[in-house]
Amino acid sequence: MIFTFDKALVREPSRSVVRGLSSQTGPRPSYDGIANEHAMYVRTLEECGLSVEILPPLEEFPDSVFVEDPALVFGDAAILLRPGAETRLGEASVLEPDLRRRFKRVLSLHGGFADGGDILRTPEGMYIGLSSRTDQRGAENLGELLRSLGLKSRIVRTPADTLHLKSDCSLVADDQVLCTEALARSEIFDGFRKLVVPRKEQRAANALRLNDTVLIGEDFPLTLELLRSQGHEVRTLPVREIGRIDAGLSCMSLRWNTREQTR
């Protein structure tokens, strides 16, 4: 059920996306490059069996294309989060009407900060990673909201210098996690089978499984072979431009299964 999706919500990148937050020192991305990669991402979601709705761009929020960070969604419910970057804090209120039109219940996080990029769903419950964008208070408050929906959660600490928990990992099977060496050394995923990405392909740890397919960036051939050796169906996507503003594959969409019911 964790990997079964039939709906997705994305936001068209704005022209201002080139000014998005970035921890990198290299060249800034081009708008056309990001727009092309985003369009291919949307097509791939559709080819994986999801019906995709595209929200209009928000010029006042350069990072709003990363629609996963201000919200968490399930089959019949959603939680509005509080992104930890000051320039992104207003994104949740703009997204709220769109979520209320699509979900029976919409809850809101009050107090603290939590980014969707720090929240990983597993068969054991939701892992909430503490990072520079998600703090203890936000994680604890989010845990209370999840409990009200009948969902378990666990607060974990991400490795030093990690932007988000899911920058360093992704669940690719119920008991198997793709992760960086730093995360593999931690105790976060004890009990899971760990696939460790090669050191020169660290960004490949942010993969995205949709139904029976795992999506990864096209610049990670060693990780591609690693996943295929485990029997996974894998598709690659260009993420070179959008990766210049710290993007991964999971952050560009909100995904849910309309048949899932929360408490």
Q: What are phi and psi of 90, to 5 degrees?
A: -80, -5
Cβ neighbours of residue 26 closer than 8 Å, sequence gap 6 or more:
244
In order of 76, 94, 246, the CA distances from 167 in angstroms are 27, 25, 9
Q: How far apart are CA 77 and CA 239, in angstroms?
A: 30
The number of C-alpha atoms within 13 Å of 204 and in the hemisphere containing its C-beta is 26
Q: Do residues 128 and 142 lie in contact, with contact meaning Cβ atoms separated by under 8 Å?
A: yes
Are the beta carbons of 255 and 74 closer than 8 angstroms? no
Owner of token pair 């921890």: 23
Question: DSSP characters for 80-112?
Answer: E-B-SSGGGTTHHHHHHHHHHHH-SEEEE--SS
Q: Which residues are catalytic?
A: 164, 251
Question: From its phi and psi, is residue 191 left (phi > 0), alpha (psi between -120 and 50) or beta?
Answer: left
Residue carrying the six token digits 């999971």 = 250
Which residues touch 226 (CB under 8 Å, ≥6 apart)? Answer: 195, 197, 198
